[in-house]
Copies of this chain bind each other. A is one copy, B any other.
């Protein structure tokens, strides 16, 4: 049994396997499948300043080795979260990180302030990369100066671990990474979805109501790995890596590229048991390769 503990920005993860925001609800839905205490952590669904209905149906299209979604941050807002959801989350024996979204800097700040008060929530993940909302969302995540600005504004009010989730829809992911480091981020999460589109040739219409949506799943894994690797070489803060992770081998690839912790997103839809299986698989891999600790493979890619 290898040592799976990972410590980033002072946060202790019992293993590097967490679940991605928007792909795991508030965790509760998975209690029927397994003990959530098996996970390193859970990134819960985006929370915004107030209630959002999200986008119109249809919100989903299957694509080759992936899917498009345009959920659009549907959630009941931060007040509802604090009052009704937070108390239930506290029961889980794993790290709970809240994904914070918004349309304006004020909204991000408001949500972050509220979450800051919640005991037992050690970190937020600032989602400046959602492609599925008209204003805000991805807009903050594709221009370095605004990314710095929103990060700094949240940094000023948020006292615990500040993670910022980056959009892959940019020319230079390292420039974006540096911009949010400048703004005071403690940890970087990458990547969110790629902006894509699906068309039904028979009806000659877009498949999803918003025409374009966010592409996730194994299709984007090569892009995600590349970005994790580029950012790992460019900045000094820890990386949470994701994008198309379906099994332990994929997870290990992300760690070799530089991720300290990984998130499992779309894979939860294909196999609800996948996350604990990945924990198991990482352990087996480390044992088989005689590696004592998961920490040893972070960024350990051999490139010469």
Interface residues of chain A, those whose CB is within 8 Å of chain B, are 63-66, 68, 142-143, 169-171, 194-199, 201, 203-206, 211-212, 215, 217-223, 225-226, 229, 244, 249, 252-253, 256-257, 285, 297, 300-303
Contact = CB atoms under 8 A, between A and B. Distances in A.
B256 A201 contact: yes
A66 B204 contact: no
Contacts of A203: 302
Copies in the complex: 2
Contacts of A204: 256, 297, 300-302
A303 B56 CA distance: 14
Contacts of A217: 64
Contacts of A223: 194-196, 215
B205 A225 contact: no
A226 B201 contact: no
21 contacts: A63-B221, A64-B66, A64-B221, A68-B222, A170-B170, A195-B226, A197-B225, A199-B253, A199-B256, A199-B257, A201-B253, A203-B302, A204-B300, A204-B301, A205-B301, A205-B303, A206-B303, A212-B229, A218-B219, A219-B220, A219-B222
Contacts of A303: 205-206, 211
Contact of A201 (B63, B197, B199, B249): B249
A201 B281 CA distance: 12
A138 to B, nearest CB: 10
A63 B224 CA distance: 12
Given A171-B142, A171-B170, A171-B171, A301 B218 contact: no
Contacts of A229: 197, 211-212
A93 to B, nearest CB: 29
Given A169-B171, A198-B253, A212-B229, 6 more contacts: A65-B65, A65-B66, A199-B257, A201-B249, A219-B220, A219-B222
Nearest to A217: B64
B64 A197 contact: no
B201 A252 contact: yes
A180 to B, nearest CB: 15
A167 to B, nearest CB: 9
B222 A66 contact: yes
Contacts of A218: 63-65, 219
A68 B205 CA distance: 31
Contacts of A63: 218, 221-222
A197 B224 CA distance: 8
Nearest to A143: B171
Contacts of A297: 204
A203 B301 CA distance: 9
A210 to B, nearest CB: 10
B198 A225 contact: yes
Contacts of A300: 204
